[in-house]
Chains A and B, each alone.
Chain A
Amino acid sequence: MVNLKKGLAYLLIGALCVTQLYPLLWLLTYSLKTNEEILDGSFFALPKTPIWTNYSEAYKSGHYLQYLGNSVFVTTITMVCVIILSAMVAFAITRFRFKYGNVVMLIFLLGMMIPMQATLLPLMIIFKNVNILDTHLSLILPYIAFSTPISVFILSGFMRAIPKEIEESAVIDGASIYRIFRTIIIPISIPPVMTVCILTFITIWNEYILAATFISTEKLKTLPFGVYSFVSQYSVNYGNIGAFLVMGAAPVILIYFFLSDKITKGMVAGAVKG
């Protein structure tokens, strides 16, 4: 009886591995096949000879490095700004003698319920009027704004628990507020800062809608939008599309491969505290 239960459990667990991973592996084989192999529908078959040219052609006709560079640029700036800005807010509302700390927190919490796409249209009009539409700034500003609440929430949860004595002694030693923030609070808060980094990275790296709405210049497109335009442009060459999709997924998959424990922990922390 126990063995039967155990067997069933293993069966379920294994079946789920197949459903969750097989589509991704299938994409990998797909990206190495010729058009004929793809069209004849032998979905389990490996490619007879792997067509590596799919990758070189996709690389040449898409602007892979450019998209990748843009994504790295936008995501990095966003992450740095989110961490600095939200750490400052979290520090102020958890450690200062300040009446309105809770009000500030409430404002951020209220914003967490607002769906990003509801701001799409008004933001576009506003950005058009201040002439930053179709620049990286038009992505970075909303990305920072929408990542701030959850980050403030996570960081302030941590900072609240730092013992007061640390600051007391720092104040007695004559350290300024800025110095306390820079040399004491930030170094202690590295673990939640990592969580914030991971959450921000995953959301911003994959963001598609804002990028597709605000950016139209080829040179400025981020990776998800770039992948989308590539796919809609070359809709007949299946192998190339597969290759470009794999290349689009590769950076995140690589990072996930090395940091999966950290990433899963960070995502749980983000979910639970959010």
Chain B
Amino acid sequence: MNVLKVPGRTIAVFILPALLLYVCIVFIPIIVSFYTGTLEWDGIGDSKFVGLDNFKRMFFDDPVFWPSVKRTLLYAVASMIEIPICLFMAILLNRYVRKANKFVSIYFTPVILSVVILGQLWKTIYNPESMGGMLNGVLVWFGLDSWTHNWLTEPKFAMYSIYIVSLWQYFGYHLLIQFTGVQNIPSEIYEAAQIDGAEGFKADRYITLPMIVPIFKISIVLAFIGSLQAFDLVMVMTAGGPAHATDVISTHMYNSSFLSMQYGYGSAIASFLVVLCLIFTVLINFGLNKLERKYS
């Protein structure tokens, strides 16, 4: 039982400032957004109540909407696939390198930089060879001229080019999380296993993997939810273009509301995004908890 018995007023003094600000900035806008999702409104003039028309249009009549959902989910899947690789590298680093911390810090560098800077950097890397793009330059240098492309302006490649930047940026993040997890496994367990004849990758299979599950779960959740919310990198690199080829849910929402000035429709998409995030957060935690119980 807690010691401090305090009057209600004191509790209010401690809790209310943060709580009020939080409710006003986070919850009220979401509720407003559900409401404006039922309006036909350009943000300035009169609004007209249209019921669920915006949602109907979103689900059935918008050729951009479902592809953008698909890209968002693909984004999530791609970033989850990266995590086992991070775990593998974390195990290697922990086993073979004495000052592994230094390497982890090096890999982590892109994580702390602004997406504006990274996005611009990768835009110049993806540039056509005539503009000094590094990637195409490397391809030409290897004699693979036919492989060169305008990576960000050809609809076929643009989205994948963005996935790569995102995977590149967050590689160090997930590696760091996994590495910390691997490091925290007590070395006595490995020593005991060694006596029983389990070493190297065998020890990894029976000790590291089961013990890393909770940390692995954290990475998966972060990667998944992070990609559902993917936004700023796409905005900086292509803003959803060319011809909607790189639109994800968030950019579609942004472009509908701020470029085409359809505030009502944009709010409908925003509401969908909120619901999607809530559902997936619950689902993925539920699924992973089940998995965790099975393996540990």
Contact = CB atoms under 8 A, between A and B. Distances in A.
Q: Please classify the interface of chain A as helix (H, G, I), strand (E, B), loop, or mixed, using the class held by over half of its residues.
A: helix
Nearest to B122: A23
Size category of the binding interface on chain B: 35 or more
Contacts, number: 282
Contacts of A107: 19, 22-23
A26 interface: yes
B15 A89 contact: yes
Q: Which among A24, A118, A264 has the highest number of chain B CB atoms within 10 Å?
A: A118
Contact of B125 (A21, A23, A206): A23
A161 to B, nearest CB: 13
Interface in B190-239: 215, 218-219, 222, 225, 228-229, 231-232, 235-236
A26 B278 CA distance: 40
A20 B140 contact: no
B58 interface: no
Given A117-B270, A146-B25, A271-B177, 17 more contacts: A13-B96, A23-B125, A41-B136, A88-B14, A91-B14, A118-B33, A119-B25, A125-B32, A144-B25, A148-B21, A168-B3, A171-B4, A208-B114, A209-B231, A238-B131, A261-B101, A271-B219
20 contacts: A16-B89, A17-B103, A19-B168, A41-B137, A41-B140, A43-B138, A91-B14, A92-B11, A107-B22, A115-B231, A119-B26, A121-B267, A122-B267, A126-B28, A126-B29, A141-B21, A209-B235, A228-B236, A249-B117, A267-B108
Interface of B: 1-6, 10-11, 13-15, 17-19, 21-30, 32-33, 36, 43, 89, 92-93, 95-97, 101, 103-117, 120-122, 124-125, 129-134, 136-138, 140-141, 168, 171-173, 176-177, 180, 215, 218-219, 222, 225, 228-229, 231-232, 235-236, 250, 253-254, 257-258, 263, 266-267, 270-271, 273-274, 277-278, 281
